[in-house]
Structure 1
Amino acid sequence: MAMSRNIISLLVSACFLTACGGSSDPAPSPTPPPDPNLPISQCDNPVEWSVVETTDNIEFLTELAYQTDQPAVIIAKLTDKNSSGMRFQWQQISGEPLTLISDKSPVLNFTPANSGDYQFKLTVSGTGQNITQFVTINVNNAQQSSLAVNSDHQVVEGNNVSIRLASINGQMPTNIDWCIYSGTDVNLDLSNPARPLFVAPNVAQDRVISIRASADFNGQTLTDDVHILVTNEANISSPYFDSPLARTYAYKTNSAYSNRLTQCTYSNTLNSSCTISQLPLIGQQTTNPSISNIMDRVVVSHDWMGRNFEQFLQQQDPHGDFITLLQSVSAIVISYDIRPSFYWVVTGAIYLDPDNLWLTSAERDSINEAPDYRSDFGNDLQFLMPWRHVKNNQYAYSSYPYENRTNRTIKDLTPRLASLLYHELAHANDFFPRSVHADLQGPTLLDDFYKRTNNSALISDQLSNFSPLQSSEMYGLANVSFKGETANATQKSYVASDVTSFFKPDHASDYYAYSSTREDVAMLFEEALMSHRYAILRDVAVTDAPENASGSTITVNWGQRGRIGEATIKPRAEFVISEILPEVGSTTLVDNLPEPLPMVAGKSWLENLTLISNDGFVPQKVNQVEQRSNTQERPLELSGSQHKIRQKEDDTVE
């Protein structure tokens, strides 16, 4: 039985556990560090917890009071060690059913809709231990509107952290202010006051960091605390993953590969590539994989990521494209700290940004919002190259501002997830198409990659040999926009019309194709398959780059819808498709691609959403509701925004 101790006051800066462990040096963070000079005030009072002791080496930190519709947390403390290497499993025993997003973490967060008693069971296992304990809390009805900061969670030392202030009844509070409880050694990036960012400090022991938000709503000043458990981890020894990674695990614990999936694909102690015998490609295991076979290779930081991925494969892959293409990967890694997505030959895995997979606001809360590390690349250039997916003169997908807590369906997320998968799986099949699976000798995939690329045997090598892209200017600009090189004076002087003259006559479907021959293949495949399977077309344009650029403020110098249908590009697309997915019938597919539609120069990006066909008519009449949607701003997406090149030691390794 659990014993309740008197309510005590815990300073969150104090060490959380008694045992000290090794702490890694601060690894370079992909996100620029927050400005250390930001004036973040100290909170007036220490954080107060109610501590529940047990007869085992577990204590529960519970809040002094729980209210309905308010984010809630219970933190499990191991009194004799840090939590690294231990497995946590929470289960709700009583009370109205809750959504438990973090049920495999020492930090359990949830938002109760109903008052009453709630009991939870926690099982902690690992290092020869298997402990089960129970904790009960009581939730009271909220008497007024309350502030809500999402979400309490666990993060490894040195990793990026984001928290989000929610709207109240669809309205954002005003006069938002943040304070840090005494002793907390972090600096908040408040460039977006509703979404503070920081880098978790290195800690000698697991430690809770608490931050308080206050804001005004309907004449009241409201507050809420958010609690982040920063965990001490083993020293980083990997030459590949040399920045802190989130804790992940095999989605299916009964998978034959569950014990090696994380270590071989997403670990700070990965010192060399795993061998093919340790983790083969899925297609080396079976040439007719089931969805169950695929899910045996999924690594996640939260169960919902694997669950939603499986649902997508079950419901939104009627032709079996993704099941077929997934034969060329060793694993699928989905973690809250992956942004943007990528494929990497060193592990043979694809890494997916879970922002493409959430279905509920609670799931979205668990995703780190730290921006793509490339966000500032190319700031010195005088042009932009935006993109979007369009169907029937409308965006092919909805936009979901973080301020609006909402849910969505698998169908809603399909356009973006499908395009992402076509792209990343094109990389995997470029490197290791099914036609070569039986001939791979290893001992690692990386060894076979070098053999193949030394013989120019990759699909991208062959495409580059017979149909290379021509514009040296675009290659140089791509190094600035996607690889972070410093723009020279000539590149800084280029305006949109110059870039149009470089890009338009060449044979690339997108600007990102110039970042590498591998991306050239992936962009061709992605755009062609999205057009063929979903009748979704890709817009690409060259525009100016005004300050505070948006869809209504950037002006199109040149642009096209469905550039993949250009006569000079279609043969390149046909070759790529025939090599990667011959079952689809590349010749017929490419012959049926619609001709590109030109954009109207001088109009804004937003005004070019509705285009007139080459025959002089609008492809589909836009009704009044859709017309209003066409005038609404969306966040701009620039070329390459969904993907990144994963490089280490060899710039051909993606």
Structure 2
Amino acid sequence: MKLGPINSLSISSTLAVSMTALVLSACGGSSSDSESNGTPDNSLPINACETSLGLVQVETASNLIFNVEQQYTAGQSATIIAGMSAGQSSGMSFKWQQLSGPIISTVSENSPLLSFVIPEPGSYSFSVTVTGNQTELTETVNIDAGAAIAQLNINSDHQVVEGNGVSLRLQRINGQVANDIEWCYFSGQEINLDLTNEERPLFTAPTVSTDSIIGLKATGQVSGQSLSDEVFVLVTNEPSITSPYFDQPVARTYSYNTESSYADIASSCVYSTQLQQTCEIVDLPLIGQMNNAENISSVMDRVVVSHDWMGKNFETFLTQADPNSDFIKLLQSVTAVVISYDVRPSFYWVATGAIYLDPEYLWLTPEQRDSINEAPDYRSDFGNELQFIMPWRYVKDNNYAYSSVERTERQTRSIADITPSLASLLYHELAHANDFFPRSVHDTLIGPTLIDDFYRRTDSNSLVSDQLQNVDPLTSSEMYGLASVSFQGTDANATQKAYLPSDITSFFLTDHANDFYAYSSTREDAAMLFEESFMSHRYQIQRDVAVTDTTDLIVDWGQRGRVGSAELLNRAAFVIDEIMPEVDGKTLLNALPEPINMAAGINWYDNIAITPVNSSNPARVSGLEAISTEVERRPVQTGREHKKLPPLIRQ
């Protein structure tokens, strides 16, 4: 997704913000340095299918039409598509309900395309209610599903807006990858696919004049048998983009709580290609500006989603994993929470006052994960000419605090499983929101928009991150320069290319940052301090940071729990006191574990099991070999986990 400029002004970088720049802070998940909206860059035409089953159209007594598959079988991804005879669903709301048959788990019950997995053979009945554009219709459709047969399975059918990125995934059979995979299309429009990964084709939804169904078929060899499956993508026609803020397609979203007093305005104010002027505070205030708003229900009134499960899982997390109400307090400084299948990575944007969460942090079932677009953001390899990296990880009890689940594995997760990664994401993103608009200033905001108040605060250097520089500024010009290379794409000069890990260690340790990414901007400096402090305080999860070479990841210097060091006390305490005044910063920090040094000359992975007793000779954790190297190398350097989205410039 590309975010456009305020007042048609241009966008530039996310380095330290001057009084004339409006920051868009964004962190977490894989990121894009090219402002890509997920458009594949290796797409090639595919052939039309020689044979296909396709869909059958079922008419009703009204203007509502169903498209159903000719064959439903147990264990397979399946779809039913509802549409108006005029071929347009824009401005319409859909609500599906199962009426009979073995219970199925749905993840797209508010979409014109109902996607589900057939649990067992039998007869199924569904109803859909369509409202909007002076229309209200309810119709019923019935299907029969047969016993499971040998076939491939594509996860899953999607509804996407025209111009948006699309990903599909071919499920493995008993862990076995099909051989000789071939894809073809049987829709009326030719399709280009990025088949860099044949199990996960990518494409950009074409521009359509009316809602259109694209059919794709995969064929492959499994144990000497030729198997196939078909998948359907509903591409919806949308109004022409008129927003200078969201100037590329975004998913259809809606308020999770349809009874909320903000249900009619939230999505249009924070995630719409029709947003021409930012909404005023009087229309969409910060959550904390409302009376008695410090509760879960007030937050959920501001949640905007592309799928219901995203809001449900977020609410469950707030209910079960926030016993101290940290996130409920921090969320008072946002206008809304957007969770959509096409948000990647997560970010906070002062233009709308909302945070945008990548649903990859929230899925609990394979079917939920199937609805998340995998289309990746493409980016440059910033800093690849440097001779060092600064890897990081979160650790608890001498082991990784969390790990990733490969897309090829159909696993479920619990709220406890997603808590460490989601908590760290929220502490960071909400630190940005509270840096700009801490609860202490809510009563003083006069608008008419948040942007107006942002400029007033930055002009007087009143942001928490601005004031942090008066407490104890970071001063290493070398680290600032290297951060520009690693996070902004500045070309490395000869001196920077010659720096060895030992040089970086000397630069870093003479300053008071807890992470390399703190040098990318003053905003990130404050957010990194707050995130690490509260992860250790609330979850006893500590952050490892190190300086290593780029090939073998041999540690020149490393430390666990650096935010607990005495030299960072004043800086971190100031940020905590300003953002979370209920918790005394120095008391919190003094109660954290003492930082533990890693053993120099040892591989980063072998430095996982360090304690105050054996820190000079760390042992390898039993079973560590099972942790995917790819999984652990993915966030190798903090900046690789943070989205580079530039500030909006004020004239």
TM-score normalized by the length of structure 2:
0.90
What is the deviation of 1:32?
A: 5.5
Distance in 2, Cα, partners of 1:651 & 1:377: 27
What is the deviation of 1:34?
A: 1.9
- Give the corresponding residue for 1:502: 507
Distance in 1, Cα, partners of 2:478 & 2:50: 57
- Give the corresponding residue for 2:453: 448
* 1:72 matches 2:78: yes
Greater CA deviation, 362-371 or 167-176? Answer: 167-176
Distance in 1, Cα, partners of 2:345 & 2:360: 9
Query: 2:106 aligns to what SS in structure 1?
Result: coil
Distance 1:267 1:633, change over 3 A: closer
> Contact conserved, 1:612 with 1:618, CA < 8 A, in 2?
no
- Give the corresponding residue for 1:613: 612
What is the deviation of 1:508?
A: 1.4
> Contact conserved, 1:361 with 1:406, CA < 8 A, in 2?
yes
> Contact conserved, 2:53 with 2:70, CA < 8 A, in 1?
no
Greater CA deviation, 236-245 or 558-567? Answer: 558-567
Distance 1:645 1:279, change over 3 A: farther
* 1:298 matches 2:303: yes
- Give the corresponding residue for 1:593: 592
Query: 1:436 aligns to what SS in structure 2?
Result: helix
Q: Tell me which of 108, 119, 123 is aligned to 2:129.
A: 123
> Contact conserved, 2:366 with 2:411, CA < 8 A, in 1?
yes
- Give the corresponding residue for 2:236: 231
Q: Which amino acid aligns with 2:541?
A: I
Matches within 5 A, 1:365-376: 365-374=370-379, 376=381
Q: Tell me which of 540, 557, 560 is aligned to 2:545.
A: 540
Query: 1:512 aligns to what SS in structure 2?
Result: helix
Distance in 2, Cα, partners of 1:201 & 1:575: 50
* 1:84 matches 2:81: no
- Give the corresponding residue for 1:106: 112
Q: Tell me which of 179, 183, 189 is aligned to 2:184.
A: 179
Q: Which amino acid aligns with 2:338?
A: V
Distance in 2, Cα, partners of 1:403 & 1:132: 38
* 1:361 matches 2:369: no
- Give the corresponding residue for 1:22: none
Q: Which amino acid aligns with 2:639?
A: G
Greater CA deviation, 259-268 or 210-219? Answer: 210-219
The number of equivalent residue pairs is: 616
Matches within 5 A, 1:141-540: 141-144=147-150, 146-181=151-186, 184-287=189-292, 289-374=294-379, 376-540=381-545
- Give the corresponding residue for 1:576: 575
Distance 1:318 1:407, change over 3 A: same
- Give the corresponding residue for 2:25: none
Give the percent of matched residue pairs that are identical in Structure 1 and Structure 2: 56
Distance in 2, Cα, partners of 1:586 & 1:623: 33
Distance 1:288 1:152, change over 3 A: closer
What is the deviation of 1:269?
A: 1.2
Distance in 2, Cα, partners of 1:541 & 1:61: 55
What is the deviation of 1:482?
A: 2.7
Distance in 1, Cα, partners of 2:486 & 2:439: 33
What is the deviation of 1:184?
A: 3.7
Q: Tell me which of 47, 57, 61 is aligned to 2:63.
A: 57
What is the deviation of 1:485?
A: 3.8
Distance in 2, Cα, partners of 1:495 & 1:174: 45
> Contact conserved, 1:294 with 1:323, CA < 8 A, in 2?
yes
What is the deviation of 1:543?
A: 2.7
Distance 1:472 1:160, change over 3 A: farther
Distance 1:520 1:287, change over 3 A: farther
Query: 1:236 aligns to what SS in structure 2?
Result: coil
Higher relative contact order (CA 8 A, sep 6+): 2
TM-score normalized by the length of structure 1:
0.89
Distance in 1, Cα, partners of 2:329 & 2:58: 51
RMSD over aligned Cα, in angstroms? Answer: 2.4
Q: Runs (4+) of structure 1 moved beyond 6 Å?
A: none
Distance in 1, Cα, partners of 2:348 & 2:217: 38
> Contact conserved, 1:185 with 1:201, CA < 8 A, in 2?
no
Distance 1:269 1:491, change over 3 A: farther
- Give the corresponding residue for 2:17: none
Q: Give ranges in structure 2 of 5+ residues lacking alignment.
A: 1-33
What is the deviation of 1:48?
A: 2.5
Query: 2:241 aligns to what SS in structure 1?
Result: coil
Distance 1:476 1:616, change over 3 A: closer
What is the deviation of 1:390?
A: 0.4
Q: Which amino acid aligns with 1:138?
A: D
- Give the corresponding residue for 2:602: 603
Q: Which amino acid aligns with 2:525?
A: D
What is the deviation of 1:172?
A: 2.9
Q: Which amino acid aligns with 1:359?
A: L
Greater CA deviation, 176-185 or 521-530? Answer: 176-185
> Contact conserved, 2:219 with 2:226, CA < 8 A, in 1?
yes
Distance in 1, Cα, partners of 2:196 & 2:566: 45
- Give the corresponding residue for 2:631: 634
Distance 1:386 1:197, change over 3 A: farther
- Give the corresponding residue for 1:9: none
Q: Give ranges in structure 1 of 5+ residues lacking alignment.
A: 1-26, 547-552
Q: Which amino acid aligns with 2:514?
A: S
Q: Which amino acid aligns with 1:65?
A: Q
Distance in 2, Cα, partners of 1:618 & 1:305: 44
* 1:34 matches 2:33: no
Greater CA deviation, 223-232 or 379-388? Answer: 379-388
> Contact conserved, 1:86 with 1:126, CA < 8 A, in 2?
yes
